[in-house]
Structure 1
Amino acid sequence: MFTGLIEEIGTLRRSARQGQAMVLIIEAKKVLEDVQIGDSIAVNGVCLTVIDYDQSCFTADVMPETFRHTTLHQLKPGQPVNLERAMSAKGRFGGHMVQGHVDTTAQIVKRESEDNAVYFAFTPQDLSTLKYIVAKGSVTIDGISLTVVEADEEQFSVSIIPHTLQETVLKYKFPGDYINLECDLLGKYVEKLLFYADGSDRQPASVSGSRSGLSRQFLLDNGF
């Protein structure tokens, strides 16, 4: 679990690819301070497992599923990446609950300055993910916890303060570039639960073809 607060910008030193499998070697400093084999580090919002490390770099595997659904396969040696260690139980929860499980990639369709902020608009490759994105809700862009400004059926937007822009890879991103998108976890669970009727073990409506048992009367009967 992560918070979406980027700890540092690392650099991809080297990558090796075999089919749709990759090994990434990433140069870093802060995230290596207490690193151990098996630790989770989010790289541009993708949760990866440390399989090796030294004083300046860590190594992580990328499996085909991750290769296909994230931007990691687009990285070139020398490119910067957002890095965040898994959340510490002793730390502050400054962002929101981020799993590091990318839902889809999204293309930047607009970047413009507005006084001290920079406005970004995105179009997801999978438009169905927009149902989880709501105005003033949370969204994760390349591992960064951000607040949604606007959202419709085709795109959504966020506004970035100068500190966030300076301390993340968004300062290098422009229209046409792609980012990793993770929607708020809460909406996914709510949608899943709504598929089920009143505590029964019936299959979701999407599988069984039946409608959910959730109704106004059901909510009234159960004290809502």
Structure 2
Amino acid sequence: MFTGIVEELGEVVAVEDRGEAARLRLRGPRVTADAGHGDSIAVNGVCLTVVETSNGVFTADVMAETLHRSGLGALKAGSPVNLERPMALGGRLDGHLVQGHVDGRGTITARNDKDSGTEITVALPDGLGRYVVEKGSITVDGISLTVVEAGEAHFTVSLIPTTLALTTLGTKQPGDPVNLEVDVLAKYVERLMGAAPTGRETPDGRETLSRGEREGAR
């Protein structure tokens, strides 16, 4: 579990094409300081498993599903990346609950730079708009941000100078893709609010019946 608070702006050292998969080598001295084989590190919001570390560089494998759903497939040597280690149990939750499971790729459609910061507009892929609400949380390239405006197919966020200086969003421009993860709580609420399937057991072990089945059983 992550928080969306980027710890380090790292760099891609090398990308090894493995057919439908890929192996990445990434430089991140801070996040690798206590990392070892099997640990997790979020790369642009994608939870990856560390294969090995050496001199501030770690290696991670990326499967076909991850390459398809996220923007990691577009990375190349020299690309900057947002890096974050998992939250320690009992640590401060400075952002929001982030799984590192990207829901889809959005596209920056507008960027408005101001003296106080920058506002960007991101187009949403189909199906994600219902999970985005004004003043709610969303993860953009691994960064926990607050939604300013939520439309049917887009949202806007405001970026303070610190975020611009310490993350990849400082150089992102209209047309650039970004990884998106919506608030997982919204997805669970939607699932739980759905109608209970008929002929199944509820969590307390009682069998559920549809209205028609209940009437027929009278």
Q: TM-score over 0.5 for the alignment?
A: yes
Task: Map 1:109-120; keep pairs closer than 5 Å.
Answer: 109-120=109-120
Given residue 191 of structure 1, which amino acid in structure 2 is its aligned partner?
Answer: E
Given residue 94 of structure 1, which amino acid in structure 2 is its aligned partner?
Answer: D
Rounded Cα–Cα distance in structure 1 between residues aligned with 2:201 and 2:89: 37
Rounded Cα–Cα distance in structure 2 between residues aligned with 1:90 and 1:154: 36
| Cα deviation, residue 200, structure 1 | 7.2
Structure 1: where are the runs of 5+ without partners? 204-210, 213-224
Identity of aligned residues (%): 48
Q: Secondary structure at the match of 1:164?
A: helix
| Cα deviation, residue 50, structure 1 | 0.1
1:13 is matched with 13
1:187 is matched with 186
Structure 2: where are the runs of 5+ without partners? 203-209, 212-218
| Cα deviation, residue 68, structure 1 | 0.5
Q: Is the 8 A contact 1:127 1:153 kept in 2?
A: no
Rounded Cα–Cα distance in structure 1 between residues aligned with 2:199 and 2:121: 41
| Cα deviation, residue 18, structure 1 | 2.0
Given residue 121 of structure 2, which amino acid in structure 1 is its aligned partner?
Answer: A
| Cα deviation, residue 196, structure 1 | 3.3
Task: Map 1:92-111; keep pairs closer than 5 Å.
Answer: 92-111=92-111
Given residue 166 of structure 2, which amino acid in structure 1 is its aligned partner?
Answer: E
Change (3 A) 1:192 1:200: farther
| Cα deviation, residue 154, structure 1 | 1.7
| Cα deviation, residue 198, structure 1 | 9.3
Matched, 1:29 2:29: yes
Task: Map 1:151-162; keep pairs closer than 5 Å.
Answer: 151-162=150-161
Given residue 37 of structure 1, which amino acid in structure 2 is its aligned partner?
Answer: H
Rounded Cα–Cα distance in structure 2 between residues aligned with 1:91 and 1:9: 22
Change (3 A) 1:200 1:42: farther
Task: Map 1:20-169; keep pairs closer than 5 Å.
Answer: 20-124=20-124, 126-169=125-168
Rounded Cα–Cα distance in structure 2 between residues aligned with 1:199 and 1:162: 53
Q: Is the 8 A contact 1:41 1:50 kept in 2?
A: yes
Q: Secondary structure at the match of 2:52?
A: strand
Change (3 A) 1:78 1:150: same
Given residue 156 of structure 2, which amino acid in structure 1 is its aligned partner?
Answer: S
Rounded Cα–Cα distance in structure 2 between residues aligned with 1:115 and 1:186: 34
Given residue 169 of structure 1, which amino acid in structure 2 is its aligned partner?
Answer: T
| Cα deviation, residue 202, structure 1 | 7.0
Query: Which structure's residues are more often helix, by fraction?
Result: 1
TM-score (norm 1): 0.87
TM-align CA RMSD: 2.1
Q: Is the 8 A contact 1:48 1:61 kept in 2?
A: yes
Name the larger-Rg structure.
Answer: 2
Cα deviation digits, residues 59-93 of structure 1 (max 9, x gap): 00000110100000001100100000011124211
Given residue 47 of structure 1, which amino acid in structure 2 is its aligned partner?
Answer: C
Q: Secondary structure at the match of 2:127?
A: helix
**TM superposition outliers: structure 1 runs of 4+ over 2 Å:** 196-203
Q: Is the 8 A contact 2:30 2:56 kept in 1?
A: no
